Amino acid sequence: MKEVIQDIIIRNSDDYIINMGPQHPSTHGVLRLELSLQGEKVKYVVPHIGYIHRGIEKMCERDTYQQIIHLTDRFDYLSAHMNNEAVCLNVENALEVEVPERVKYIRTILDELNRLASHQLWWCAFGMDLGALTTFFYGLRDREVILDIFEESFGSRLLHSFNTPGGLMHDIHPNFQKRTKEFIKYFRKKLPEYDQLLSNNVIFQMRTKGIGYMSKEVAISYGVTGPSGRASGFSCDVRKNHPYSAYDKVDFKEILDTTGDTFTRYKLRIAEMWESMNIIEQLIDNIPEGDYTAKMKPIIKLPVGEYYQRVETSRGEMGVFIISDGNKFPVRVKFRTPNFANLFVLNKIGSGNKIADIVAISGSLDLVIPDIDR
């Protein structure tokens, strides 16, 4: 019989409890962690959420499918493009629309560019959590180069609702390919700097190695996906297991590790950045000519039924579940966001550590709070 992994928190009246957050620089937003301390050891961690709950799922019920896309930007604003794509793919699959090859290639490139930008910002924030402010300036220096590419093509730096059901809003800028290639060339030189600055730092390694161990069983039973799950040996890459867009045409590795501590999760994201650049390089010269969107009706009505589509965002598996009754508005939309699952493993892997290690562990899970609360 399989062992059931349980996570029962027993509160006592004489616990010494402190609150970390909602306004705390290391919680990356407005998350409140209830920490019970025994000296400097943490007995348990209870995450309290809801400080940025905007009711997006409810709002989706009053919106058309084109309008929902703009709301999905605001979940995980660092992987806005992937979130858009999840809704678009779902609608396209439901309508059985075949999108042009050009769209698939561009979407995949943008996914990976967005993943790079997201991991860069995570690297900045993770270094800053552990007291290394230098990473903040180096990481955001390189991120601005990607944002320039985004800005030129979509007119927006962060939240570019560039996908629509059926394709893209408009065609990419003529400079897009040239600038992306320049960026890859530039970033291939800069990424080893990240290792020199932080990965090989002795203090950093002492603060992250052997801390916050997550086994494969825990990762699977809590549904921890993305780089955090893959660092524990859980093969959960949607790009590999259920390819969408042009991921079936590229040759890339799913990076797996089995150590499962904080440092492994860090190393795995650095390795993912290399892999993302490989994917972009394979696609950027081969973007086929063609339309940037398929022919779609102005009012989209999904056939009656239930539809599910998942994509791999930079933090894990993002799923969109739509129930339609044939109208132009969905009856119910449910989002399976990666950070919600990733957050609640914090008590399992965090309790028993020192209070300063909680910062390192939650930083290595790469949480984005509006993605949790929606």
Partner 1 sequence: MGIKIKSMKNEDFLDNSTLETLKETGDNFFLTTIDDIVNWGRSNSVWPLTFATSCCGIEMMAAGASRHDFARFGIEVYRASPRQADVLVVAGTIVHKMVPILLRLYDQMADPKYVIAMGACAVSGGPFFYNSYSVLRGVDQVIPVDVYIPGCPPRPEALLYGVMQLQRKIKSKSITNPNEVEEK
Among 11, 41, 54, 188, indicate the residue that binds partner 1 (CB under 8 A). Answer: 54
In the complex, the smallest distance separating the C-beta of residue 280 from partner 1, rounded to whole angstroms, is 22
**Distance, CA of 100 to CA of 293 (rounded, Å):** 7
In the complex, the smallest distance separating the C-beta of residue 68 from partner 1, rounded to whole angstroms, is 10
Residue type (1 letter), 336: R
Closer residue to partner 1 (CB): 30 or 255: 30
Cα dist from 51 to 22, 80, 370, whole Å: 8, 21, 9
SS3 category, 322: strand
- The stretch near partner 1 (CB under 8 A) out of 50-58, 99-107, 167-175, 237-245 is 50-58
Residue with structure tokens 């007291």? Answer: 131
Closer residue to partner 1 (CB): 13 or 23: 23
In the complex, the smallest distance separating the C-beta of residue 373 from partner 1, rounded to whole angstroms, is 8
| Binding of partner 1 by 158 (CB under 8 A) | yes
Closer residue to partner 1 (CB): 99 or 368: 368
Closer residue to partner 1 (CB): 120 or 264: 120
| Binding of partner 1 by 50 (CB under 8 A) | yes
**Distance, CA of 180 to CA of 106 (rounded, Å):** 12
DSSP 43-89: EEEEEE--TT---HHHHHTTS-HHHHHHHHTTTSGGGHHHHHHHHHH
**Distance, CA of 178 to CA of 146 (rounded, Å):** 13
SS3 category, 274: helix
**Distance, CA of 325 to CA of 327 (rounded, Å):** 6
- The stretch near partner 1 (CB under 8 A) out of 52-60, 163-171, 253-261, 281-289 is 52-60
**Binding pattern to partner 1, positions 118-137, x when CB under 8 A?**
---x--x-----------xx
Nearest CA to 283 out of 310, 315, 239, 245 is that of 245
Residue 206, φ and ψ in degrees, nearest 5: -65, -30
In the complex, the smallest distance separating the C-beta of residue 298 from partner 1, rounded to whole angstroms, is 20
**Distance, CA of 162 to CA of 150 (rounded, Å):** 10
Closer residue to partner 1 (CB): 136 or 213: 136
Closer residue to partner 1 (CB): 41 or 58: 58
CB 83 within 8 A of CB 73: yes
| Binding of partner 1 by 78 (CB under 8 A) | yes
User: Which residues have C-beta within 8 Å of that of residue 22, sequence separation ≥ 6?
Assistant: 30, 31, 32, 51
| Binding of partner 1 by 74 (CB under 8 A) | yes
Among 15, 46, 77, 249, indicate the residue that binds partner 1 (CB under 8 A). Answer: 77
Given the rule CB under 8 A, which residues bind partner 1?
Answer: 22-25, 29-30, 50-56, 58-59, 62, 70-71, 74, 77-78, 121, 124, 136-138, 140-141, 143-144, 147, 157-159, 369-370
